[in-house]
């Protein structure tokens, strides 16, 4: 069993709540009127929750993602591997018009390789290419996180008919949409993955379930593992980033009917030192915390260290599938979970390109599984990634690929 909170903390919370309820009852309206409802009116709802950012909130899409978490995927390849599975594949695209003899020239417009998640994925994608003899050339261009450069990259790749298929990992959604639409009009099959665009012209759009599901997985875990009325601190990387905003919205959806208090909602800029300072400040201000929710796991270890420095037990927390967090979780016997944004998705666009150019059908929207790492799986995941660097993403799906593990250790 992982660490659990002491009973005296729960009793203190119950005593405080009871005293508050007595106070409210004694101070009711003198005129007998209705005092009105509020978020903390004793009806079991959470305290301190903001509204989801309306610029990034889609109730229908959130409901879909939360439901997809429990759906069985269908196989679109041999081996029952998650990178060739699809959840609710729905419409299958007839790709016979794109069928052609190899060897093929596959082109890739990459948003960036500016963080460990993308670096792990990019290494995996290159190894996937080597598994397909029918791919004669693989040309990739790094946009270096610049919309302008990626627009120019796509224009260059689609000139002169040098690409048999184009894969795009968009840097942003709205700005890259016109560039993807122009690429579609050239007649070559376009495959989009990771972040989407606002057009359905690509042959297929490949992605894991999504941000709402990530946020909900972590939020549900905290609801199950913090005491009633427990204090949760939300740590977020940056505002206004679509995938991060949807993760927070997914958490808010889970918490809205839960008996928890969100004491803070802070941005860390992905900086470990800033993360540690924020957590330390809240520990001092609140006297302790009962849970930590994070929209990304890059600074999870720094959050843990803040509790260690304060001499306090680390509360239930989520990270991600970076190995530094997973190893810390195991070594310190923490109560934790690691939701993921499936890194193995970097294999699927290459597989999709080979299917399309072979005239085989693909899902119009290819939704990949998005499994969270739980306590039961932790030791096996760590063992499977023995010798890998701390910032490596464990669910890369790369363990049986050419050059493993050395290729991913650099």
Q: What pairs with residue 229 in β-bridges?
A: none
- Same domain, yes or no, for 95 and 172? yes
- Same domain, yes or no, for 205 and 87? yes
* Alpha-carbon separation of residue 365 from 186, 239, 246, 255, 401 (angstroms): 21, 27, 19, 29, 26
> 3-state DSSP call for residue 125?
helix
Q: What is the pLDDT of residue 80?
A: 83
User: Residue 241: which residues within 8 A CB-CB, separation 6 or more?
Assistant: none
CB 237 within 8 A of CB 243: no
Q: What is the pLDDT of residue 331?
A: 98
Q: What is the pLDDT of residue 44?
A: 56
- Same domain, yes or no, for 199 and 216? no
CA atoms within 13 A on the CB side of 203: 28
Q: What is the pLDDT of residue 79?
A: 73
- Same domain, yes or no, for 125 and 182? yes
- Same domain, yes or no, for 199 and 269? no
Total of domains in the chain: 2
H helix intervals, 347-410: 348-357, 375-384, 406-409
> Which of 170, 66, 158 lies closest to 112, judged by CA?
170
Q: Which residues of the chain have pLDDT under 50?
A: 1-43
User: What angle, 0 to 180 degrees and rounded to 10, lies between the N-to-C axes of helices 59-68 and 211-225?
Assistant: 70
> 3-state DSSP call for residue 313?
coil
* Domain-terminating residue out of 337, 362, 385: 337
Residue 365: φ, ψ to 5°: -120, 115
Q: Quick check: is 379 in a domain?
A: no
Q: Quick check: is 31 in a domain?
A: no
Gap between the Cα atoms of 163 and 188, Å rounded: 7
Please name the residue that has the structure tokens 């203190």: 12
CB 397 within 8 A of CB 404: no
Q: Quick check: is 22 in a domain?
A: no
Gap between the Cα atoms of 291 and 284, Å rounded: 15
* Domain-terminating residue out of 295, 322, 337: 337
- Same domain, yes or no, for 51 and 88? no
Q: Quick check: is 88 in a domain?
A: yes
Longest dimension (CA), the chain: 85
- Same domain, yes or no, for 164 and 234? no
Q: Quick check: is 141 in a domain?
A: yes
b/e sequence 151-178, b meaning 16+ C-beta within 10 Å: bebbeebbeeeebbbbbbbbbeeeebbe
- Same domain, yes or no, for 254 and 171? no
Q: Quick check: is 234 in a domain?
A: yes
- Same domain, yes or no, for 293 and 356? no
Angle at CA 156, nearest 5°, toward 150 and 162? 130
CA atoms within 13 A on the CB side of 177: 8
Q: What is the pLDDT of residue 353?
A: 98
> 3-state DSSP call for residue 193?
strand
Q: What is the pLDDT of residue 174?
A: 94
Q: Quick check: is 292 in a domain?
A: yes
- Same domain, yes or no, for 160 and 279? no
CB 255 within 8 A of CB 262: yes
Q: Which domain holds residue 271?
A: 46-64+212-337
**pLDDT tens digits for range 376-392:** 999 999 999 999 999 99
Q: What is the pLDDT of residue 38?
A: 31
**CATH number of the domain residue 260 falls in:** 3.40.50.2300
b/e sequence 244-283, b meaning 16+ C-beta within 10 Å: bbbbbbbbbbbbeebbbbbbbbebbeeeeebbbebbbebb
- Same domain, yes or no, for 97 and 160? yes
- Same domain, yes or no, for 226 and 172? no
Q: Quick check: is 54 in a domain?
A: yes
């Amino acid at each position: 069993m992982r660490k659990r909170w002491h009973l005296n903390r729960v009793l203190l919370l119950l005593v405080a709540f009871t005293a508050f309820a007595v106070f409210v009852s004694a101070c009711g309206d003198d005129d007998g009127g209705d005092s009105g409802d509020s978020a903390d009116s004793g009806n079991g709802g959470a305290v301190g929750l903001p509204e989801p950012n309306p610029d990034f909130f889609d109730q229908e899409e959130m409901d879909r993602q939360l439901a997809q978490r429990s759906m069985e995927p269908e196989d679109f390849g041999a081996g029952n591997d998650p990178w060739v599975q699809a959840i609710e594949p729905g419409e299958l695209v007839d790709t016979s018009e794109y069928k052609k003899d190899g060897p093929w020239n596959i082109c890739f417009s990459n948003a960036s390789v500016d963080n460990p998640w993308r670096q792990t994925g990019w290494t995996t994608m290159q190894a996937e290419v080597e598994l397909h003899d029918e791919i004669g050339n693989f040309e990739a261009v790094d946009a270096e996180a610049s919309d302008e450069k990626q627009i120019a990259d796509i224009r260059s790749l689609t000139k002169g008919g040098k690409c048999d298929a184009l894969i795009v990992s968009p840097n942003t959604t709205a700005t890259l949409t016109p560039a993807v639409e122009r690429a579609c009009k050239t007649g070559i099959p376009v495959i989009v993955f990771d972040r989407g665009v606002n057009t359905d012209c690509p042959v297929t759009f490949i992605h894991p379930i999504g941000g709402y599901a990530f946020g909900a997985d972590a939020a549900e875990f905290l609801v199950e593992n913090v005491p009633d009325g427990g204090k949760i601190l939300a740590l977020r990387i940056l505002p206004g980033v679509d995938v991060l905003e949807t993760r927070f919205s997914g958490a808010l959806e889970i918490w809205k009917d839960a008996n928890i208090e969100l004491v803070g909602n802070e941005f860390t800029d992905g900086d470990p030192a800033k993360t540690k300072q924020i957590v330390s400040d809240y520990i001092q201000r609140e006297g302790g915390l009962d849970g930590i929710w994070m929209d990304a796991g890059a600074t999870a270890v720094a959050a843990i260290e803040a509790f260690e420095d304060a001499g306090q037990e680390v509360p239930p927390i989520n990270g991600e599938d970076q190995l530094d967090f997973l190893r810390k979780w195991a070594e310190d016997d923490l109560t934790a979970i690691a939701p993921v944004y499936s890194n193995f998705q970097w294999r699927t666009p290459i597989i999709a390109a080979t299917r399309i150019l072979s005239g085989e059908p693909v899902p119009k929207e290819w939704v990949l599984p998005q499994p969270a790492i739980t306590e039961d799986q932790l030791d096996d995941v760590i063992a499977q990634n023995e010798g890998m660097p701390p910032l490596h993403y464990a669910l890369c799906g790369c363990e049986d690929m050419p050059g493993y593990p050395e290729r991913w250790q650099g």
